[in-house]
Amino acid sequence: MRKIYLFIPALLSLLMVSSCSDTEPGIDMIYTQFSRIQSGDNHLQNHCYENVVAVNWDQFLGDIAEDEVLEIRPSFVTVSNNQGLPLDFVEHAYMNILLGDDPNSPLEMAFRENLPLNTGISFELIPGLADFKNELTDGTFTFRLCLNYYQPAPYTVDPLQVDFGFQAYLK
């Protein structure tokens, strides 16, 4: 009898979650950028890396008009060391998209705090909830990846690969 009492709430939860999805899957917009961590970078400072990225609206969305897009939300951010050396010295990481030319007006894309000490050659950030439709309709955008370290960077990481993506949802 007790198994039935445990089974019913689990079944109801599953039905509620599966019935909530009435939107179509988004269209992927995936980007890859590269940065460099310098050996000996101070662990007491915030280290930020910025790149200007082409939106490539036509490549991802083809002839879909801007007014047909409901929202564009972050889907993932992965930071990787292609040299095969661990990134276990990184403590906190966050990524922003800068609004226009103003570096003081970032919109958070993803973050991760208290990365484990046994981080391998890559780690994932947790995507934020912001809508980036207005930022991704111009020709370019600027992303900023900021890292804090547990200790000074023990070696140079070149290239530090940053893969990130958005999902564009249509009306």
Segments making up each domain of the chain, as ranges: 24-170
pTM of full prediction above 0.85:
no
Q: How far apart (Å, rounded) are the C-alpha atoms in residues 123 and 115?
A: 8
pLDDT in tens, 106-163: 999 999 999 998 899 999 999 999 999 998 988 899 999 999 999 999 999 999 999 9
Cβ distance 63 to 30 under 8 Å?
no
- pLDDT category of residue 16 using cuts at 50, 70 and 90: very low
pLDDT tens per residue, range 21-48: 455 679 999 999 999 999 999 988 999 9
61-67: long-range contacts, CB 8 A cutoff, minimum separation 24: 61/27, 61/29, 61/168, 64/27, 64/168, 64/170, 66/133, 66/137
- CATH number 2.60.40.3080 given to 24-170: no
Phi, psi of 74, deg, nearest 5: -65, 145
